């Protein structure tokens, strides 16, 4: 078996395991929704154990797939959109595992594993391409520094985005609990209150923002090293800065009285801009970063 075959096989295995974890996690959360809040801490279902085990094994398979891809490519596996996707989704699941190390994150598990399932599935089915080696502009130590930080910050932002969405849903339910009583809303009620979710989201976004700041800075240094200038209004450079501004606005709004209500929506706008930077900018705009797509 070649490294390429091993990578694809283990990544598809990870996709399947994440899908199982998503379903099992949703079943567990549904069970929690049927009991009183004070009793939820003692509820241990088989679905919970399946969700935790398949997420962990899926993460291991995911890691094996990344290492095998790196061996196949002969370099760190984040030189194109496919590799960015499979690595970024790995970071998102890893962030979730770290986040839940000292707290019960059953309420978040189905969302994270669901996102990882979609990302890996799309990566393997749509974005996959055999490695053809690095283009000259990528043959630099900055590939490891700049892109790795960008991928880690993307994974952190992804988990923060999911928590922000839950925060908005929880806030709506708390404002009118008698109206929002369906099964889905009872499952939302399993998550912490919206203030706690806001605190979690703020912490994750603060970490992601610091990392994204280093992403922009290291990108400027790489640009100077590769092209002889720190800034050139390249579409990718512009969008990366726009993302930085949006997340800076979120942190400012979150810490400013009177702007708290707008903060979650700004965070969502930041994640949308992040996705557009990864998709629209890569496929539509022509620039020096066109190598971000598959070779």
Are residue 238 and residue 98 in the same domain, yes or no?
A: no
pLDDT reading at 295 higher than 50: no
The answer to whether position 144 is within a domain reads no
Domain that residue 257 falls in: 150-181+188-295
pLDDT band at 286 (very low <50, low <70, confident <90, very high): low
Are residue 203 and residue 254 in the same domain, yes or no?
A: yes
* End-to-end CA, the chain: 24
Give the pLDDT of residue 200. 96
Are residue 120 and residue 168 in the same domain, yes or no?
A: no
Rounded average pLDDT over 242-249: 96
Are residue 155 and residue 284 in the same domain, yes or no?
A: yes
Give the pLDDT of residue 6. 94
**Is the pLDDT higher at 160 or at 104?**
160
pLDDT reading at 290 higher than 60: no
The answer to whether position 138 is within a domain reads no
Give 203-207's long-range contacts (Cβ < 8 A, gap of 24+).
Answer: 204/95, 204/99, 204/156, 204/157, 204/159, 204/160, 204/163, 205/156, 205/157, 205/160, 205/247, 205/250, 205/251, 205/254, 205/267, 205/270, 206/251, 207/156
What is the rounded distance in angstroms from the CA atom of residue 84 to the CA atom of residue 91? 10
Are residue 169 and residue 107 in the same domain, yes or no?
A: no
Answer yes or no: are the C-beta atoms of 54 and 21 closer than 8 Å: yes
The answer to whether position 142 is within a domain reads no
Are residue 233 and residue 101 in the same domain, yes or no?
A: no
pLDDT (tens digit per residue) in 127-154: 888 777 677 666 777 788 888 999 999 9
Q: Which residues contact 231 (CB under 8 A, 6 or more apart)?
A: 220, 223, 237
Are residue 56 and residue 171 in the same domain, yes or no?
A: no
Are residue 259 and residue 155 in the same domain, yes or no?
A: yes
Give the pLDDT of residue 102. 85
Give the pLDDT of residue 288. 57
Burial of 141 (0-12, 13-18, 19+ CB in 10 A): exposed
pLDDT band at 30 (very low <50, low <70, confident <90, very high): very high
Are residue 275 and residue 163 in the same domain, yes or no?
A: yes
Q: Which pair of tokens denotes residue 182?
A: 């369906």
Rounded average pLDDT over 34-39: 79
The answer to whether position 141 is within a domain reads no
pLDDT reading at 50 higher than 90: yes
The answer to whether position 139 is within a domain reads no
Number of folded domains that form the chain = 2
pTM: predicted TM-score of the whole model, two decimal places: 0.91
């Amino acid at each position: 078996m070649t490294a390429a075959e091993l990578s694809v096989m283990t990544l598809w295995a990870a996709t399947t395991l994440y899908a199982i974890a998503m379903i099992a996690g949703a079943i567990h959360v549904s069970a929690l929704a049927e009991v009183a809040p004070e009793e939820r801490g003692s509820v241990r279902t088989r679905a919970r154990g399946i969700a935790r085990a398949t997420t962990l094994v899926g993460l291991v398979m995911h890691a094996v797939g990344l290492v095998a891809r790196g061996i196949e490519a002969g370099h760190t596996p984040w030189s194109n959109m496919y590799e960015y996707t499979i690595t970024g989704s790995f970071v998102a699941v890893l962030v979730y595992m770290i986040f839940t190390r000292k707290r019960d994150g059953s309420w978040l598990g189905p969302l994270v594993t669901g996102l990882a399932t979609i990302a890996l599935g799309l990566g393997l089915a749509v974005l996959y391409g055999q490695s053809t080696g690095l283009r000259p502009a990528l043959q630099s130590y900055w590939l490891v520094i700049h892109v790795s930080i960008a991928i880690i910050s993307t994974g952190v932002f992804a988990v923060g985005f999911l928590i922000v969405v839950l925060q908005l849903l929880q806030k709506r339910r708390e404002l009118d609990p008698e109206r929002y009583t369906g099964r889905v809303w009872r499952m939302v009620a399993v998550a912490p209150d919206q203030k706690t979710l806001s605190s979690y989201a703020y912490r994750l976004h603060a970490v992601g923002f610091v990392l994204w700041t280093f992403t922009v800075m290291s990108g400027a240094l790489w640009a100077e090293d590769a092209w002889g200038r720190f800034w050139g209004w390249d579409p990718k450079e512009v969008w990366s800065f726009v993302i930085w501004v949006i997340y800076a606005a979120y942190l400012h709004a979150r810490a400013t009285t009177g702007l708290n209500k707008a903060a979650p929506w700004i965070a969502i706008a930041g994640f949308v801009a992040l996705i557009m930077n990864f998709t629209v900018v890569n496929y539509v705009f022509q620039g020096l970063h066109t190598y971000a797509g598959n070779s």
